[in-house]
Amino acid sequence: MQTDEKISIVEAVLFASGEPVLKKTFCELLNIDSDELDDLIEKLRDKYLSICSAVEILTLGDSYQMASRREFSPHIKAVLEEKKNSTLSQAAFEVLTIVAYNQPVTKGFVENVRGVDSSSVVNSLVEKGLLEEAGRIDIPGRPVSYKTTTGFLRAFQISDLSELPPIPEREAQLTLNDVTTENDEESTEE
């Protein structure tokens, strides 16, 4: 099979899927290795750039997805009359942060870190496609564990979780004692 034919197959599958397609799936379909697939994707990206296409190929973890370029979003929304995406609550951001940095995790783990019931927030994030079930943990009760999705990667415009900002070192974090000591010192100065 010629390179141009392989590129066309990759393009057709990405277009028809509308969802992320695993690199492994392409490698098996085309009987090629990962490096050759990366070369094909780069050639497809170059093709789109050379013709000023409104389409681009996103890398989402171990998958690729065809999408429209971000700069065309206002035009697409105007034509499709999409409603503005609802913003995420502070609780949703907290849950996403906990899951993204510790995945896979259970609702119990999230609740332990946050100190409040988080079931409805986790369920809402699953419905929005930002979290998904990652299987069951082999402990009593066999609770469901959760992980982030490719939708999470798209929403935060990252290719994989390694692009998340690092968590501050423990020494750089404030503790409850630091906050209460500062408040006590301010009170005594007045």
Q: Report pLDDT digits (tens) over 30-89.
A: 999 999 999 999 999 999 999 999 999 999 989 999 999 989 888 887 777 644 456 788
Q: Are residues 165 and 94 in the same domain?
A: yes
Total structural domains in the chain? 2
Domain termination residue (choose one: 78, 105, 132):
78
- CB 107 within 8 Å of CB 143: yes
* Distance of alpha carbon 1 from alpha carbon 26, whole angstroms: 14
Token pair, residue 166, equals 């690092």
Closest CA to 106 of 132, 129, 137, 127: 137
pLDDT score, position 85? 55
pTM of the model: 0.54
Domain termination residue (choose one: 78, 105, 133):
78
User: Which residue, chain included where needed, has tokens 């392989």?
Assistant: 6
Of the chain, the percentage scoring pLDDT greater than 70 comes to 86
Average pLDDT over residues 161-166: 88
Instruction: With respect to residue 179, please indicate whether it lies within any of the assigned structural domains.
Output: no
Cα pseudo-dihedral 85, 19, 124, 126, rounded to 10: -160
Instruction: With respect to residue 189, please indicate whether it lies within any of the assigned structural domains.
Output: no
Q: In what order do the strands lie in the sheet with 105-106?
A: 105-106, 144-148, 131-136
Instruction: With respect to residue 63, please indicate whether it lies within any of the assigned structural domains.
Output: yes
Q: Are residues 72 and 7 in the same domain?
A: yes
What backbone phi and psi angles, to 5 degrees, belong to 20? -60, 140
pLDDT score, position 125? 93
Average pLDDT over residues 178-184: 58
pLDDT score, position 190? 54
Calculate the average pLDDT of the chain. 86
* Distance of alpha carbon 72 from alpha carbon 122, whole angstroms: 31
Q: Are residues 39 and 109 in the same domain?
A: no
**Domain range holding 37?**
3-78
Instruction: With respect to residue 187, please indicate whether it lies within any of the assigned structural domains.
Output: no
- Which residues make beta-bridge pairs with 131? 148
Residue 187 has pLDDT above 70, yes or no: no
